[in-house]
Amino acid sequence: MSSTTKRVGKHTIQFANPPVIVATASVVGPKEGEGPLGNTFDMVITDTYFGEESWEKAERKMLEEAVKMVIAKAQLQWQDIDYLLAGDLLNQTISANYTARNLGIPFLGLYGACSTMYEGMALASILIDGGFATHVVAACSSHYDTAERQYRYPTEQGVQRPPTAQWTVTGAGAVLLAPAGNGPRITHATIGRVLDMGVKDPNDMGSAMAPAAVDTLVRHFQDTGRSPTDYDLIITGDLGRVGRELALKLAAQNGYDLGDKYTDCGLLIYDSERQGTYAGGSGCACSAVVFAGHLMGKLNDGTYKRILGIGTGALLSPTSTYQGESIPSIGHAVVIEKI
């Protein structure tokens, strides 16, 4: 890396002053609380309405609670936050928009589908490393029932789902970054490219997103000169069982054996057989709450010292699906290290 640039290779940023993850917060639904990672979340709500009159309002409330919680954990006030970077899966990112309205923090709305959390962490790191901000919150949310209503069928219809389908995580996660403090640091970010391999089935997101995840993974290794052995854990956001199997094959075709170091948040958050979640979890909140809870815990207790996380997103809409379009996808990567 030269003295005049923070770029490594063609696509990767190496931060000169790696931002610190000062605090994280996670709010999840009942099903997520009953899963294998249930004890790692900050708040488990008891019903999917969260005391509201609609699932959309419940999702908004979860996101607002997560942002408030992460600020309180950092012992800050909302006035101390320079920017809120947030998004969700709903049309016009209404969960994030209304949360920003209620909190009054300067707001940059994001839409990266299920890659939104890692996109937010990468952009927050750029703002802090560049000296443009001191405290930035990156956050996102999703809700099983709101996503089903928008992208597929209302859950009240009881439509049968294929084995390739994934279960949208009900939850919200937030990460607060600062230039200094205690906690792991974000040292690198590799920004993804949009890939489209022609998959058209909205019930097979794993197959649609896996090529984009591996493309970012390979470019990260090429840019940094690293390999899978340089990481304690390589984790994707939302590929589930089908996508993970495909990602392993694609990585091997590119000369990288990911082995046992690689897993996916969608496989960790649920016990698919016991909980009936088909190919695993997905949704903006999937990678967000797994990172904010489980992975941060492992970084803080020393189990992991260096993680490569890749948030994956399917950039479709109900309209594009109805018109028979294929599903473009993206993967954004960040390196989190306990220095």
Give tens-digit pLDDT for 174-185. 999 999 999 999
Kindly state the tokens that stand for 199: 């998959």
Pairing mode of beta strands 167-168, 281-282: parallel
Q: How far apart are CA 85 and CA 120, in angstroms?
A: 6
Residue 16 pLDDT > 50, yes or no?
Answer: yes
Q: What pLDDT shows up at residue 29?
A: 98
Q: What is the pLDDT of residue 201?
A: 87
Res 147: pLDDT: 86
Please state the φ and ψ torsions of residue 277, each to the nearest 5 degrees.
-105, 20
Q: How confident is the model at residue 278 (pLDDT cuts 50, 70, 90)?
A: confident
SS3 of residue 48 by DSSP: coil
Q: How many CA atoms lie within 13 A of 205 on its CB side?
A: 29
pTM recorded for the entire structure = 0.95
293 phi/psi in degrees, rounded to 5: -100, -80
Q: Which residue has the tokens 């939104």?
A: 116
* Residue range 302-306: mean pLDDT, rounded: 97
* Gap between the Cα atoms of 259 and 271, Å rounded: 21
Q: Which residue has the higher pLDDT, 38 or 154?
A: 38
All domains of the chain, ordered by start, with CATH? Answer: 7-178 (3.40.47.40), 185-337 (3.40.47.40)
